[in-house]
């Protein structure tokens, strides 16, 4: 045999053994005797979000060639499919968490309740997204129609994923929620933690580099540009030096605020309603309503 | 039946009805009695751009195994396919706009004229891209060959999409043009509005976070680094408080300018030829030729 | 025939001829008489990295439904497949470089040696990635488990690609290495040159806009946030005005350093161990161990 | 360039020219000046039949995981999709025939009427297929349940295709009908011309080699085995020596007839009701009701 | 809306209602109140058989590029995958049957036992298939190598499916077994019921139209040609006029028999060892060892 | 871990070892010390034939939407692709045979010569296929146009594969040729050995069960129906009892012969020109020109 004589040197068998030992050590360190249950699948979640988006906007994001007569069947079948698959993914998360905590649970049953309450909020999501699209159309001189906004703007991709992920985060599926957020992050460069609370008519223009933290609260009619950070100033540690997880540490942005590109706003501060925060501003204290904050000028 | 008893709670039928009502309200608010015509497809446009790139650089970006004898057939067939599909997408945009404006038009005929003039400019695009590749090779100490630049550099992906999108923007297909720009934006983090005018030998290094606005004009031999913004300072509103769309509001960057990472340049100002703009600089006024602008230093 | 009468105007034949002439001119300018050999394929490399990731973390990133009994077969087969395909891609790079340099070489043989030494380092990569995952888990208050980190965090995607690419860069395959780095860059917005040297327990949070240069050296237990640049201050030119390629021009970051979002650190400077660099800081000089550098405040 | 030096001998260009000349001669011989319009697509028709089968038997042949709540949406959406695609295929056939005959027609409009009448007969098809399934279940000692029959038996595949194709044949789409019949022929070895008329409760066991001609008429409750031919005895020619097309030339098989494997029945004869035709029988004359025909024995 | 005005006539909603009613009637007639459980999937089974074939003959039917070092990993992973998927399909059959019979069962547990015993017999299948391949090579003057036989001969495809299906039939999964048999039937025109018992060194040449019944028993070193039937002479009915299912009704063919094309052998008769049955012979009685049976000649 | 506890019983490791031993025994019996080289791939060959068919009939079997301007590029690129892939498959066969015979050869070079001579005969194949299509159109009262014949008739699929396979058989690639023949056999039930020589204007109607042997010679304007066999009467053995391979053993059918369904014609006999052989006739002796042979009648 003359094919691939070099292959003899790759030593697959030895590699397989080493990698097995490393996996076992890793499980042992984490005090797990067994393989953990399976995690949800990013690929599945990506399809589920695409299906939900198609069900919410069938004429724009659904299959080509839908007729008036056929659109409701498309919506119904697509929802049914998406919700069934979401159910499976949620059950995976619930099982995973329960196993980590050594709890028993009826993952299918609990996931079913989650899906039902999630589904019931889909019309509300559509209403909110209509306000977001309108805000983008009105806020960008380059936008020619709301339809262009829906199919082109990365800010819409990000907020669509967020509004769906946020409901799941609230419902007790933070891992699935986070995975959905990261799908949008990868595609748009906009990183919104699913825990963030965001009001209607929200618009992010350009968007690359935007970061919005887990406990941020954003009012209605807020507009952000690229590279804006709504972050934490510091991370509190407990008496053992471990990070305290989950406490309120990100800004509150009230209604009708505009934050220009590159602004960095850190900590549990309040940006008063109607304020404008200039580009590249670094802000770590609250500002009252209708403030106009701008950066010191560069030297020339 | 014991499978999915929980499914009974998802209430698909009720959701379908609610979503239909929301769609109808949304159309009514926009004073449309009927479903709008179909929009162009991002997925289709993505394939078209890949085909055009393969036709422009068949040995680098075409199918593996092309022979000298076969390459022209590959180029001809790939062009024919790409242009036919582009024709369909352009006709969709033309129909969409005509319907919004209540106009009649021969969408197929007009799209055909557009495609013909677009096709005629492809050799010019290839020439420009060769200058861009050479600029990247000369401008980055890490680049080892022009071929590496073509297959690796996100800045090349962005300018390739832009040079194609810009022709379509000029030809009267701003929506298709924008969708092509967003394909590059999603993949590279570089957001170039298709309206921007960009000269030969253009190089963006790293690129994530770059934003170049609709009316920006960039000369020859210009180099940008990541997170540079060429944006608008303010958006003018008309007497009704609506944004004025389309007026010149972004910078003019003359030949041989270098702009370092994070610089923010806003408004219809002129960066004189041969200037260097330092990293993180915030600039809202014109500077003469051969200026060197740098940021105030951080405190230590 | 009434179909596509407009098509007659596209003049494919003329386009094909023009594009051929441009290709020939381009080769002539680069003093190549013949088509260069094929380059490695980004699509193939993307699959190879996915396979290697699956072999390193089969229970998390492998196929669903793996059993304890089957996991080693999966790992062995996946490794074998990935390494065989990697072998082909490396041989393409070696042939390409040899042809440019007019050298003869046994590309298959040399690639085989490269793959063997690459394979032998995979267990080390797994160990390093375990430290990275742990660092992310401990460094982010929003992280709930190391498993969530592995499947969600773009910083982990970036470092996984980097640790594999870096070995190939060191082994003499800089093009394949760079292509792997750009796959991660496109997906995460994190741009780590494969030449950069990075110690264990490395964590990038959010990550969009991070740039780490070719000659950067990063110690153990370093944490970066989004939009941090570890770049070059200037590019040296030789007596002919050509860029000097490959010299040390990026920062050295010692152990236990934290660099907050938007900080720009340029040139071959040293950030002493245990230092903290604040958000948006612009730094072009070395700082001693345990420094705390922060930006001047914005005006309000 | 050392790759594929041998390729120089393939002479693609010369082949392309020769093949073009042959195409043009072929069109000229058929007195066509132009390319004919496109024909329907076998691949598309294959998908359409699969969709119609799934709509008729959603729980057996539809997607996995359908719930009671979701099944009607699946059926509606699948029907809508299948009928839209069928509409396109029928319009292709109508255009093709009209162009051959030099006629003008509203292909979309006529195809739409065809689809409407086809759709209206789908419930009837389902009823007939239920009788066919029941007949197979009752007629084969190896069948364990009607569900097994539906998913296993090639005779059911053949009759399902036939019952759909026959409606289209009657409606004036003989080409689409024939293409559907050939899809079943390829998969089952059962060749039923779509013109054949077949009553309820029809069962073909094994089936390979069965041929049923265009003008055959088969009553209710008829059973056939493999390799049965219901064919023409001779083909009539007109005064010019051309075949007369379309006249009745195949057998009439009345109700409750069984025809065993390999029997060959030729010409416009009548097999009286309740008859049994033995294996390998060669029959070219009518037989009265309740006949039992068997072959002469082989010598031993 | 001007698109598809004709679509208004398709009346999807009415169709959906009618089809639902027909489904409900069909279930009611079969005295089922609920949807039956899902059936096994032909598509899944087709993949499983391809995987098992690849595991049995990895160098011939496995993935390209297998190395000596990698082949066992390929075999192990492919087996693991195939057996896991087979387990699911078997559980579907068991559930289906149990539900029809109103029984409770541990389908996963029983399927697991089935798979274990099936797996244990795979080496035996490989040994038998080696004898079949050798028989084909020796029996066909056109065969050039055993490898050609394995990749070309439809008779090998058929016996490979049969030997796997027969084990499952014996193990109590007649539906999955039948579905596997029909996959081979569709691809080869050879219809072997999975219940048939077939000895080593079995060869079918050409094969189209061969039918072998459920209770046939075939010895060692038997050769068949196309269109041979080993069928039942009559079907017994019970006192209620229902077919008696499962009784021995097909021929016994002893060792070293050759049966030429088109021969029809019916009923529970015995073809004595070493016999030759001529082409087109019709045989319904036993013949002793070493018989030579031929057809009466045709007239000329 | 509670998932798949039953999996523990599948004993994959033991199976892998047993299967390895069987593979090694099988190689040893065939006196091969090493794995044989790879065989050609049926899947690849199937794609190659589809591409060649598309190049021969681009308007009928090519991609949809070809324009007059684009068709030659399509043909050229498709040919180039098909011939390159065919080159690889032929080289695999040549290597395989050389290794079996312990010969050295330049497989790439020899395959290249084969492909060149194969390519040069493609126009001849197109001419022959045009005569076949015309013969089918004229010979079947159900055929409405030559285009319908090309896209519908299994006899055309079979002869298209045969005419290509026969050239390769003659050129010294009998394995690739046979694999192509079996692709057609599987799809149509028509089994033509690639060695058979077949004149112009050949038509097989229905076709299932037709078998044409390796050394058959068929003249011009011959028509066959389903289940016709042109086979060998007996296989000669040499002094060692081994089959003599390759000698002339199948019928010669002269011009203008019609052979009806089910006729079996065996041995190196001659069917004189202009003869008609009736259905189910069994014929093992030559017949003079213009004979009319028919079967004895069945008893009634």
CA atoms within 13 A on the CB side of D131: 15
**Is C147 or D129 the better-scoring residue by pLDDT?**
D129
Task: Supply the pLDDT for residue E119.
Answer: 95
Q: Which residues contact C21 (CB under 8 A, 6 or more apart)?
A: none
Same domain, C90 and C137: yes
Angle in degrees, 0-180, between the axes of helices A42-56 and A122-139, rounded to the nearest 10: 80
Interface residues of C toward F, Cβ cutoff 8 Å, are 1, 3-4, 7-8, 10, 12-13, 16, 67-70, 73
What tokens appear for E171 in the block? 């193990």
Burial (0-12, 13-18, 19+ Cβ within 10 Å), D31: exposed
DSSP letters, C205-231, are SS-TT-EE-TT-EE-SS-EE-TT-EEE
pLDDT in tens, A17-43: 999 999 888 888 776 656 667 889 999
Q: Which residues contact F121 (CB under 8 A, 6 or more apart)?
A: F167
**Is B287 or B6 the better-scoring residue by pLDDT?**
B287
Same domain, A174 and A231: no
Angle in degrees, 0-180, between the axes of helices F174-188 and F42-56, rounded to the nearest 10: 80
Chains that touch A (3 or more CB pairs under 8 A): B, C, D, E, F
Same domain, D180 and D273: no
Task: Supply the pLDDT for residue C9.
Answer: 62
**Mean pLDDT of the region F242-260:** 90
Task: Supply the pLDDT for residue E3.
Answer: 42
Dihedrals phi, psi of D138, to nearest 5 degrees = -75, -25
Q: Whats the size of chain C, residue-wise?
A: 300
Task: Supply the pLDDT for residue D240.
Answer: 77
Tell me how close the Cα of C31 comes to any Cα of chain A, in angstroms: 35
Q: Does residue E55 carry a pLDDT above 50? A: yes
Q: Is B212 helix (H, G, I), strand (E, B) or coil?
A: strand
Task: Supply the pLDDT for residue F8.
Answer: 45
Task: Supply the pLDDT for residue F1.
Answer: 32
- pLDDT range class, residue E44, cuts 50, 70, 90: very high
Give me the residue from A19, A35, A191 closest to C206, CB to CB: A191
Chain F's closest residue to E74, CA to CA, is F16
Tell me how close the Cα of E85 comes to any Cα of chain F, in angstroms: 12
Q: Does residue E5 carry a pLDDT above 50? A: no
Best CA proximity match to D218, nearest among D236, D238, D193:
D193
What tokens appear for B39 in the block? 């929009």
Angle in degrees, 0-180, between the axes of helices B122-139 and B154-170, rounded to the nearest 10: 150
Rg (CA), chain C: 23
Taking the CB of residue A30, how many other CB atoms lie within 10 A of it?
13
**Cα(A245)–Cα(A259) distance, integer angstroms:** 27
Give me the residue from A20, A214, A227 closest to C227, CB to CB: A227
DSSP letters, chain A, are --S-GGGGGS-HHHHHHHHHHHHHHHHHHTT-SSPPPPPP-HHHHHHHHHHHHHHHSHHHHS-TT--TTTHHHHHHHHHHHHHHHHHHHHHHHHHHHHHHTT----HHHHHHHHHHHHHHTHHHHHHHHHHHHHHHHHH-TT---HHHHHHH-HHHHHHHHHHHHHHHHHTT-HHHHHHHHHHHHHHHS-EE-TT-EE-SS-EESS-TT-EE-TT-EE-SS-EE-TT-EEE-S---B-TTSPBPPS---S-EE-TT-EE-TT-EEESS-EE-TT-EE-TT-EE-S-B-TT-EE-PPPPP-
- pLDDT range class, residue E296, cuts 50, 70, 90: low
Q: Say if CB E197 and CB E178 are below 8 A apart.
A: no
- pLDDT range class, residue C69, cuts 50, 70, 90: confident
What tokens appear for E183 in the block? 């996959």
Q: Does residue C32 carry a pLDDT above 90? A: no
* Percent of chain E clearing pLDDT 70 (strictly above): 93
Cα–chain center distance at F210: 12
* Long-range contacts from B281-290, C-beta under 8 angstroms, 24+ separation: B281/A298, B282/A279, B282/A280, B282/A295, B282/A297, B282/A298, B283/A298, B284/B233, B287/A300, B289/B254
**Cα(B299)–Cα(B295) distance, integer angstroms:** 12
Q: Does residue E181 carry a pLDDT above 60? A: yes
Q: Is E221 helix (H, G, I), strand (E, B) or coil?
A: coil
* Percent of chain B clearing pLDDT 70 (strictly above): 93
Best CA proximity match to D234, nearest among D223, D255, D248:
D248
Same domain, B158 and B263: no
Task: Supply the pLDDT for residue D5.
Answer: 42
Residue E152 located in a structural domain: yes
Task: Supply the pLDDT for residue B236.
Answer: 73
Residue E171 located in a structural domain: yes
**Mean pLDDT of the region F120-128:** 96
pLDDT in tens, A38-64: 889 999 999 999 999 999 999 889 888
Give me the residue from C64, C109, C295 closest to A6, CB to CB: C109
Give me the residue from D55, D138, D142 closest to E193, CB to CB: D142
Best CA proximity match to A277, nearest among A255, A298, A262:
A262
Same domain, B123 and B238: no
Same domain, D251 and D138: no
Tell me how close the Cα of F69 comes to any Cα of chain E, in angstroms: 30
**Mean pLDDT of the region A188-195:** 97
Tell me how close the Cα of B157 comes to any Cα of chain A, in angstroms: 15
Give me the residue from C1, C34, C35 closest to D34, CB to CB: C1
* Helix, strand and coil percent figures for chain D, each rounded to 5: 50, 10, 40
Taking the CB of residue D101, how many other CB atoms lie within 10 A of it?
8
Residues of E in contact with B35 (CB under 8 A): 1, 3
Same domain, B69 and B132: yes
Taking the CB of residue B108, how many other CB atoms lie within 10 A of it?
16
Q: Does residue C297 carry a pLDDT above 80? A: no
| Residue E73 to residue C70, Cβ atoms within 8 A | no
Q: Does residue B155 carry a pLDDT above 60? A: yes
Chain C's closest residue to E85, CA to CA, is C65
Task: Supply the pLDDT for residue E166.
Answer: 98
Task: Supply the pLDDT for residue A192.
Answer: 98
**Cα(D86)–Cα(D176) distance, integer angstroms:** 9
**Mean pLDDT of the region C199-208:** 97
User: What's the mean per-residue pLDDT of chain E?
Assistant: 89
**Is D181 or E29 the better-scoring residue by pLDDT?**
D181
**Mean pLDDT of the region A165-173:** 97
DSSP letters, E15-37, are HHHHHHHHHHHHHHHTT-SSPPP
Q: Does residue F4 carry a pLDDT above 50? A: no
Tell me how close the Cα of C246 comes to any Cα of chain B, in angstroms: 7
Residues of E in contact with F295 (CB under 8 A): 298-299
Here the ipTM equals 0.91
**Mean pLDDT of the region C240-261:** 88
Q: Does residue E8 carry a pLDDT above 70? A: no
Laid out side by side, the sheet with E282-283 consists of: E191-192, E211-212, E229-231, E264-266, E282-283
Last residue of a domain, one of D138, D157, D188: D188
Same domain, F177 and F248: no
**Mean pLDDT of the region A256-275:** 96
Give me the residue from F72, F115, F152 closest to D10, CB to CB: F115
Chain E's closest residue to D295, CA to CA, is E282
**Mean pLDDT of the region E242-271:** 92
Residues of F in contact with A35 (CB under 8 A): 1
Same domain, E166 and E292: no
Q: Does residue D134 carry a pLDDT above 90? A: yes
Number of H-type helices and E-type strands within chain C: 9, 14
What tokens appear for F100 in the block? 């079996």
**Mean pLDDT of the region C215-240:** 90
Taking the CB of residue D33, how many other CB atoms lie within 10 A of it?
7
Give me the residue from F3, F8, F67 closest to C7, CB to CB: F67
Q: Say if CB A209 and CB B227 are below 8 A apart.
A: yes
Q: Does residue C7 carry a pLDDT above 50? A: no
Question: Mean pLDDT lowest for which of C166-175, F44-53, F135-144, F286-295?
Answer: F135-144
Same domain, F160 and F248: no
- How far apart are the two ends of chain C, measured CA to CA in Å? 72
Task: Supply the pLDDT for residue D35.
Answer: 67
- pLDDT range class, residue A248, cuts 50, 70, 90: very high
Question: Mean pLDDT lowest for which of B220-234, C198-212, D142-156, E258-272?
Answer: D142-156
Residue E34 located in a structural domain: no
What tokens appear for B106 in the block? 């021969």
Same domain, E56 and E179: yes
Residue E21 located in a structural domain: no
User: What's the mean per-residue pLDDT of chain A?
Assistant: 89
Q: Say if CB E277 and CB E243 are below 8 A apart.
A: no
Residues of E in contact with C63 (CB under 8 A): 81
Pairing of strands B211-212, E197-198: unpaired
Residue B24 located in a structural domain: no
Task: Supply the pLDDT for residue B298.
Answer: 42
- pLDDT range class, residue D147, cuts 50, 70, 90: confident
**Cα(F76)–Cα(C12) distance, integer angstroms:** 14
Q: Does residue F298 carry a pLDDT above 80? A: no
- How far apart are the two ends of chain F, measured CA to CA in Å? 71
User: What's the mean per-residue pLDDT of chain F?
Assistant: 89
User: What's the mean per-residue pLDDT of chain C?
Assistant: 89
**Cα(C122)–Cα(E11) distance, integer angstroms:** 61
CA atoms within 13 A on the CB side of C220: 4
Task: Supply the pLDDT for residue A241.
Answer: 72
Q: Does residue A126 carry a pLDDT above 90? A: yes
- pLDDT range class, residue E31, cuts 50, 70, 90: low
Q: List the CATH number of the domain containing E265.
A: 2.160.10.10
Count of domains observed in chain C: 2
**Cα(A161)–Cα(A52) distance, integer angstroms:** 10
Residue A240 located in a structural domain: yes
Pairing of strands A264-266, A229-231: parallel
Strand partners, B218: B198, B253
Question: Mean pLDDT lowest for which of C7-11, E26-30, F193-197?
Answer: C7-11
Task: Supply the pLDDT for residue F234.
Answer: 75
Q: List the CATH number of the domain containing F61.
A: 1.10.3130.10
Q: Which domain holds residue F158?
A: 39-188
Chain A's closest residue to B20, CA to CA, is A72
| Residue E13 to residue D76, Cβ atoms within 8 A | yes
Task: Supply the pLDDT for residue D32.
Answer: 63
pTM for the model stands at: 0.92
| Residue A261 to residue B195, Cβ atoms within 8 A | no
User: What's the mean per-residue pLDDT of chain B?
Assistant: 89
Residues of A in contact with E16 (CB under 8 A): 73
The beta strands (E) that lie in chain D are given as 191-192, 197-198, 203-204, 211-212, 217-218, 223-224, 229-231, 252-253, 258-259, 264-266, 270-271, 276-277, 282-283, 292-293
- The dihedral of CA D44, D46, D50, D53: what is its sign? positive
Same domain, D222 and D179: no
Task: Supply the pLDDT for residue E35.
Answer: 67
Suggest the residue from B4, B5, B6, B245 to mutate for an interface test with chain A (most A CBs closer than 10 A): B6
Task: Supply the pLDDT for residue F2.
Answer: 36
**Mean pLDDT of the region E109-114:** 94
Question: Mean pLDDT lowest for which of B21-30, D211-220, E175-184?
Answer: B21-30
Task: Supply the pLDDT for residue A1.
Answer: 32
**Cα(B284)–Cα(B265) distance, integer angstroms:** 6
- pLDDT range class, residue D34, cuts 50, 70, 90: low
* Percent of chain A clearing pLDDT 70 (strictly above): 93
| Residue A6 to residue C113, Cβ atoms within 8 A | yes
Task: Supply the pLDDT for residue A34.
Answer: 63
pLDDT in tens, D165-197: 999 999 999 999 999 999 999 999 999 999 999
Residue F82 located in a structural domain: yes
Q: Does residue E236 carry a pLDDT above 80? A: no
Residue E150 located in a structural domain: yes
Task: Supply the pLDDT for residue A117.
Answer: 94
Cite the DSSP H helix spans in chain E: 12-29, 42-56, 58-61, 71-100, 107-120, 122-139, 146-152, 154-170, 174-188
* Percent of chain D clearing pLDDT 70 (strictly above): 93
Residues of A in contact with E10 (CB under 8 A): 69
């Amino acid at each position: 045999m003359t094919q691939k004589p070099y292959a003899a040197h790759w030593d697959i068998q030895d590699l397989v053994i080493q990698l097995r030992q490393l996996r076992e050590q890793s499980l042992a360190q984490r005090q797990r005797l067994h393989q953990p249950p399976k995690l949800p699948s990013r690929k599945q979640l990506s399809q589920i979000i695409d299906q939900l988006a198609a069900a919410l906007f069938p004429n724009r994001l659904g299959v080509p060639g839908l007729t008036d007569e056929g659109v409701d069947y498309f919506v119904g079948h697509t929802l049914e499919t998406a919700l069934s698959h979401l159910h499976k993914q949620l059950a995976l998360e619930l099982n995973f968490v329960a196993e980590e905590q050594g709890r028993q649970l009826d993952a299918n049953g609990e996931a079913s309740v989650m899906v039902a309450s999630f589904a019931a909020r889909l019309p509300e999501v559509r209403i909110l997204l209509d306000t977001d699209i309108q805000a983008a159309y009105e806020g960008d001189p380059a936008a020619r129609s709301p339809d262009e906004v829906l199919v082109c703007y990365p800010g819409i991709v990000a907020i669509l994923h967020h509004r769906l992920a946020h409901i799941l985060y609230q419902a007790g599926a933070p891992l699935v929620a986070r995975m959905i957020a990261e799908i949008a992050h990868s595609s748009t460069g906009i990183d919104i933690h699913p825990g963030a609370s965001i009001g209607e008519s929200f618009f992010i223009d350009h968007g690359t580099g935007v970061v919005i933290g887990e406990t941020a609260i954003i009012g209605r009619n807020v507009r952000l540009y690229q590279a804006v950070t709504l972050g934490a100033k510091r991370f509190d540690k407990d008496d053992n030096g471990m990070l305290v997880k989950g406490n309120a540490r990100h800004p509150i942005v009230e209604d009708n605020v505009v934050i220009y590109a590159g602004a960095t706003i850190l900590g549990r501060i309040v940006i008063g309603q109607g304020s404008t925060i200039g580009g590249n501003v670094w802000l770590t204290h609250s500002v009252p309503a209708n403030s106009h904050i701008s950066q010191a000028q560069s030297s020339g």
